[in-house]
Amino acid sequence: MDLHSATTAQIVEYIFLGYNATVLAYGPTGSGKTYTMVGTRSNPGLMTLLTQTLYERIDVQKHSVYLSYMVGDDALNELYNENIRDLLNPCSGILDLMEDEKGNIQVPGLSKVIAPSSAKNKGIRLKEGAAINRSLLALGNVINSLSSGNRNRYINYRDSKLTRLLKDSLGGKSKTCMIAHVTPSSAHYEETYNTLIYASRAMNITLRPTRSRPVSADQPHMDAMKQINKELQEQNNMVHASSSQLLYEKSPTSDKRSPLSNRGYRPAPHRWQRTAPRKFSSLFNSLREQYLDLIDKQHRLRERLLEANQEAYEAEMSRASKVAILNAWKKQKVEVRENQKTADSIARLTNDVDEQDKRLSELVELRRKIEKALRKGSETAHSVESRLRSAAKHAEQLEMVALLVRMAEADAESK
């Protein structure tokens, strides 16, 4: 109850003001995440206490509409092994991750990073460990990027379904509470150390909660916009047909074709569209090719950044475990430290740590250069986009510019 008063009880206030909220439990296996979130019948956890507080705050008379909306959208989903299941409907099978404007709040329980060889995992257990490691890696990369303080840094949420679900929660659009779990056992030193690192980095993430609106609230506006777009499309089709006929009549060879016209010949409806590319100015074509090259270059840079982030994460995890071993060895008695076999192993570990420090420094510089190139490429793309819009003389050219921009945005979201 004390933990609820200090964390989720305060979040309830934001929920009633129209903000989204997330409670995230993070830590290794056996550290108490399930007990904190679910609890027991005699000592309920945060999920039960939060739900109870929500319903206690609802005044049926003043919030009847809100009550029916909230209850109607109740859901309890499980994200495990990168698969999503509806716990209220076990027969539904694995669900696809569909992103909408409302979003979904999840409470994932991640285990520690599992080494397949040491855990002797096989079959299903090996797949579970790989899925957990993938989620942890993606979550760690997102937290590292968000805590860097660089607002122009590229944040990759699409490596895992976990980070996609937590995009708004981690990105600062909702009120988020992260509860880090650790165990006092010395056998879990590495897991405790890594958990505290991520918790300290998460504290540096700046939150800017924004009020959410249900899709139904904007439905009339969306319907009106669809009708307007439909009418504009019909008008454009009429203009295209008129332009096609006008071009045919103004053609220098129209007199020569007059006998065909007298026999009922008419230009094909898509004749103007086929000849439209000839009307594109050389400047517009040049800018279009330049923009496509920029999209391809940005795509390759994002792939390189993803690879560098993954290598840096793995190197940092490996270095932390080796440093922990070295620190423990330094505390041993002199006779243990003077053992030749142990000394050789310690020397190799020390050399490995030095090499990893060097590689981490190289990766930091590489990531800095890639991020700088991404920012510069983005600025150049915006400049070329503006020039493209200025050079566009026809509706088709403007539509092409809009399509190119959507392609660039979709590519950025997919990485």
Which residues does the annotation place in the binding site?
Answer: 27-34
Rg of the chain over all Cα atoms, to the nearest angstrom: 29
Tallying the residues shown for the chain, one arrives at 415
Q: What does 251-271 look like in DSSP terms, one character per residue?
A: STTTTTTHHHHHTT----TTH
DSSP-based three-state secondary structure for 321: helix
Q: How far apart are CA 409 and CA 404, in angstroms?
A: 9
Contact present, 43 and 210 (Cβ < 8 Å)? no
* Tokens linked to 64: 């009847």
**259-273 in b/e burial notation, b at 16+ Cβ within 10 A?**
eeeeeeeebeeebbe
Amino acid at 221: H
DSSP-based three-state secondary structure for 355: helix
Contact present, 350 and 326 (Cβ < 8 Å)? yes
CA distance from start to end of the chain? 41
To which H or E segment does residue 91 belong? none
- Cα pseudo-dihedral 388, 394, 395, 396, rounded to 10: -80
Rounded to 5 degrees, φ, ψ at 164 are: -65, -40
Annotated binding site for ATP: 27-34
Burial (CB count within 10 angstroms: exposed 0-12, middle 13-18, buried 19+), residue 54: middle
HSE, side-chain direction, 13 A CA sphere, residue 181: 19
Tell me 215's DSSP state.
Answer: G
HSE, side-chain direction, 13 A CA sphere, residue 24: 25
Contact present, 355 and 379 (Cβ < 8 Å)? no
Q: How far apart are CA 342 and CA 335, in angstroms?
A: 11
Strands (E), 141-228: 175-180
